[in-house]
Amino acid sequence: RLRAEWPDHVRALEREGRIGREEARKYSSLMIVGMVGSIDNDLASTDMTIGACSALERICESVDAILSTATSHQRAFVVEVMGRHCGWLALNAAISTGADYLFIPEAPPKNGWEDAMCATLKASRDAGKRTSLVIVAEGAVDRQLRPIRANEVRDILATRLGYDTRVTILGHVQRGGAPAHFDRFLGTMQGAEAVEAILRATPSTPSLVIGMLENKITTQPLKEAIELTGQVAQAIESLNFDRAMGLRSASFAKQLTSYKEIANFNPDSKMKLPNEQRLRIAIVHAGAPAGGMNTATRSAVRLCINRGHTVLGVHNGFPGLMRGEISELDWLTVDGWTIAGGSRLGTNRDQPGLQMGAVAYQMQKHNVQALMVVGGFEAFTAVLELGRNRTQYPAFCIPMVLVPATVSNNVPGTEFSLGADTAANVIVRSTDMIKQSASSNRRRVF
């Protein structure tokens, strides 16, 4: 509206003599470029908004602390996070903390969700899990748009299952604190692009919003982005939940599907493959430890188990494989691996070429039918080496997959490696503290 009225305001200033004709001509049009700062990450047409990553980090830090007491007392916790019309924070918090159940506004649970939730959590407890964690977005509703509150979920768990259940509402804690590394990077890149967009603009250029799609900074019409964002709330209010999901980024639906499959123990999963299609899949860590190695392993193990595959954990890298240090991984073994740093399987930089025959022998002995390697550049070269020796060792003629995990982020073929963001956050936090110390003494240089 301001942009449409701008020429009238300029002409009025000229008539009043407050600006000259040349100034009126020079500033006859106004260009508007917006950057979205929202912890909810609720703007349609962009994958990430400034502030969302920092809020997610606050949530993960809080839930990690809660899980310590929850496990020791075998309690259930219901954690409410922000997100009135968008479940991005809740969904990503559930994935990042290994939550057992999730409620978000875009994908309300089916009728009878109370029974389904209790059955799911009970199955996990019966399998040996010591605690239960439920994440609730503040805007979560059921299929009739009746709000689902954290206190209601607590009462259901306490009454029906007899669980000692606590509620934590994080509130404005999610908005506070120093920005995470990614938000600093995103704000810097989008700020620069906003200036470039203004310099490129002509009087006919529509107002723009700076976004991010598939890790690339984008410029899109602001009006369309606002309209699409408003349509999400309208779709939810009209009970068109499929439409609401469709208006989110493509990654949002994929994340939700993946979460549902790996969150809960389901021995009778409908996703199980026929016996002849089930594989024995080995997972090995290689290279230096990196944040996310255990998380990736946990996700792979749980998905494989739900599909009917057998997962073998190789301990202590390729030397462990040479020695036959292999054991079967089950659902409960990897339960706490989401928030665990380092490498629970053990890792080192040694390459399989040291004893290629021993590697082939152990893989054949344990009937390894597929191999997943998690690690950095050493893992990359190890997979290449195994592939080059397929003609000599038939045991290597199987599917092999590399999951890049290195703080150096130097594995070819990917823009981001597991662990790089964690390392960057550590660097940013440490540098902030060093700068604070340095500012007290002008003679000190760090």
State the catalytic residues: 40
Measured CA to CA, the distance from residue 112 to residue 107 in angstroms comes to 15
Compute the Cα dihedral for 242, 244, 247, 252 and give only its sign.
Answer: negative
**Under 8 Å between Cβ of 385 and 351:** yes
The two three-digit tokens of residue 200, written as one number: 């490129």
Q: What is the CA radius of gyration of the chain?
A: 26
Helix (H, G, I), strand (E, B) or coil at 328: strand
Compute the Cα dihedral for 155, 139, 171, 40 and give only its sign.
Answer: positive
Task: Identify which of 221, 244, 259 has the alpha carbon closest to the alpha carbon of residue 34.
Answer: 221
The two three-digit tokens of residue 285, written as one number: 């860590």
The two three-digit tokens of residue 334, written as one number: 């990897």
How many Cβ atoms are within 10 Å of 17's Cβ, its own excluded?
Answer: 7
Measured CA to CA, the distance from residue 190 to residue 184 in angstroms comes to 10
User: What element of type H or E holds 300?
Assistant: helix 293-307
Task: Identify which of 301, 292, 291 has the alpha carbon closest to the alpha carbon of residue 335.
Answer: 301
**Under 8 Å between Cβ of 82 and 138:** yes
Measured CA to CA, the distance from residue 106 to residue 233 in angstroms comes to 9
**Under 8 Å between Cβ of 429 and 184:** no
User: What element of type H or E holds 349?
Assistant: none
Which residues lie below 8 Å from residue 221, measured CB to CB, with a gap of 6+? 206, 207, 208, 209
